[in-house]
Every structure is written in C-alpha cells, then in structure tokens.
Structure 1
Amino acid sequence: MTAFAAPIASDMIGTRLASRADLTGFLTQLSDEIGADSYMLVAIIHDEERNDARIVASNWLYDAIELIGKHLIAALAHGPLTSPPGNRPRALVASHAETAAGLLNGEEAKLLDVLGHAELYSLRLDVGRQRLFLLFSAAEAGNIQQDALNRAQLKCCYALSQVPQLLATAALQDPLSDRERECLFWVSEGKTTEEVAVILGVSANTVNSYITHAIQKFSASNRAMAIATAIRSGII
C-alpha cells in the first residue's frame, strides 16, 4: 500500500491550479494519462423544478452537450455506475443495452456512441464539503485504462481541494431557476412581493417561495445578500 501511495502523493503535491486555464490543462493531461478522449467535470443541481448538470469544465463538443441534454448528463454523472473514491470504476458501454439499462434508452445510447462517447466512466469527487462528478469517455470501448482511474480520481480530488474559490465560482455560476432569477431581478429593481406577483402572474406566496429558494442556494442570510451575490456573479 505504501509503495503505491507514495508516487500518487508526489504527483498531487506538484499540481497547482490557479485559473480555469490550469483546470483545463490538468483535466486534459489526466485524460491523456488514462486513454480517455473526453472529460467533463459536473456539479449536479437538485431542486423541486429540475435535476440537471452544471458543467464546470469540459472538452465535449457544444453540439454533443446540446443534443444529449443536461438532464441526461446529470443522470450519467450521478447514476448507479458512478464510482465513489476507493471503489473499482465500472464502464457504461453505449452499445451494450444490458450495461446501459436503467440509464439510457436505445436512442440515447446510439446518440452517445455516434457522438464519440462509446465508453464512459463516472467518478465521484469528494472535495471538502462539495461533491462533484468527473466523466471520462472514449470513442472506442476498451480504450480507457480502468486500472488508472482510481489514481486519476485521487489526483483530481486533491488538486480541486486546493482551489475552493475557483471551484465554487465555476460550479455555482448560476444555480437559480428561471423563476428564482426573475424574482430576484424584480426585487432588485425595487418591486414589492405583491408587484412581482402581478408581473409574473403568480401568487405572492409563490414569489416568496422562489426568493427563499434563491437565498438558500446562495447561502445568504436575507434578500439583500442574495441580490448582492447574484449581481456580483453576473446572474441578474
């Protein structure tokens, strides 16, 4: 165990991520080391309105992301084949219906294959209190070195734990639903709850509920703090 852990620790200590460009370079290098063609670092958004993916960093083609959709990406990232740290990763092979059962229908599996993601692994990353997911994929099944994935997972957890602010900015760039964003915007414009309700065609209680959700997502203590955070982040 000691002989295996030492080189990993040495590699990780040398990893320093000071910018989004550093993060891109790090994930690209990690992909090369394990034989993957593509990577995607994902945070999952869960609330009463949606369950989709917040993409932190990725080299997937834009068209592939749009065609597959963030809801399916979230299901792939946080699905039954996702491997927590220390567990042996399991592959999702798009061409094998029995492997993809419960995650993909036939059309979705074919789409993944055609878009160059024939083989896909999902790794859970525990980074401080934050949980992220890292997808590695290859155009041909069998290209990814399964035995190298645990090492890559540990390196990624370590490197990301050193940059909590960079990670938080990227992952939580816009955690709000459309309605939550609209409510915060109108309140920031000086509208009362009742006025916002009239503008959006909903009840005052519904407006208050949306604003409460926005406050919670920003870990703010009140409306003013949530609005300030949203403005600083460019969300409203």
Structure 2
Amino acid sequence: MQKANSGHASTGATGGLAYAPLRDPPKCVVKCLDLSADVPSLTAREKECICWVAKGKSSWDIGAILGISEYAVEHYIKIAMKKLGTGNRMAAAKKAKQLGLIEPQFC
C-alpha cells in the first residue's frame, strides 16, 4: 500500500517517499529552553546564608553559626535576594533551591 503524497515529500524514482530533512527548531524555542543562562551565580557565602534561611534560621543564628556578624548575614541575604529577583528571604531560599543553587539538607 502506497502513502498519498501530502505535498511534504517528493516521490523518488522507485515510487517511494523521500522526506526532506528536518529543520532546526526556531531560535526562540532553543533560547526558552536554555535555563542555564537565567540562573544567577551566588557567592559561596551567599549560598551558605540562603541555605540556613531555608532551614528557618534567623540572621543572628546564621551569624553565630558562620562566625560573622548579623549585619554581614543580612547583607549577603540582601544581595542574594537581589540576584534572585525576590522580595523576601524565604522566597529567595525557595528559588535558590528550585534552581539547584542550594541543598538545605547539606547545610
């Protein structure tokens, strides 16, 4: 049984169908799927602070754990929030976890 020619393929000398090669996907599709370009880079200290935020620690607690001041912790968290485009520390922790930047179980 021969397939009908739908206009997408041409018949060869043997009567069979010869299909045209597939084209590359549109650039907009490739760009949308490239998630690595949208992942911000956090410093090691920013990651540490956000990781502890994800575990529910206060800035004071994080400072005591890391041996830095509460104000330094707040600074690192603020910078991470800005890089991640979030409005609060818990949203930053959630987004960092979703992006694979932190793993709270390893803090």
Do Structure 1 and Structure 2 share a fold, with TM-score over 0.5?
Answer: yes
Residue 51 of structure 2: which of 185, 189, 194 is its match?
185
8 A contact 2:40–2:83 mirrored in 1: no
Cα RMSD (Å) of the superposition? 1.8
1:209 alignment partner, one of 75, 80, 93? 75
Matched, 1:225 2:82: no
User: Which letter maps to 2:53?
Assistant: V
In structure 2, distance between residues paired with 1:165 and 1:212: 28
Residue 75 of structure 2 aligns with an amino acid whose one-letter code is S
Q: Which has the higher contact order (CA 8 A, sep 6+)?
A: 2
Is the alpha carbon distance of 1:209 and 1:195 closer, same or farther for their aligned partners in structure 2, counting shifts above 3 Å?
A: same
Amino acid at match of 1:16: P
Structure 1 counterpart of 2:50, one-letter code: L
Change (3 A) 1:227 1:200: same
Query: Cα offset for 1:174?
Result: 5.1
What secondary structure, in the 3-state scheme, does the structure 2 residue paired with 1:220 have?
A: coil
Deviations 1:15-50 (A, max 9, x none): 426xxxxxxxxxxxxxxxxxxxxxxxxxxxxxxxxx
For 1:203 and 1:193, the matched residues in 2 are separated by 9
Identity of aligned residues (%): 34
Secondary structure at 2:42 match in 1: coil
1:231 deviation in Å? Answer: 1.1
The alignment of Structure 1 onto Structure 2 pairs a total of residues equal to: 79
TM-score, normalised to structure 2's length? 0.65
Q: 1:166 to 1:174 in 2, by over 3 A?
A: same
* 2:25 equivalent in structure 1: 16
Q: More strand per residue: 1 or 2?
A: 1
Q: What's the CA shift string for 1:204-224, capped at 9, x where partnerless?
A: 111001001111111111112
| Partner-residue secondary structure (3-state), 1:190 | coil
Alignment of 1:1-236 (within 5 A): 15-16=24-25, 159=27, 162-163=28-29, 164-167=31-34, 169-173=35-39, 175-236=41-102
Gaps of 5+ in 2: 1-22, 103-107
Q: What displacement does 1:173 show?
A: 3.5
When normalised by structure 1's length, the TM-score is 0.31
State the SS of the aligned residue for 1:176.
coil
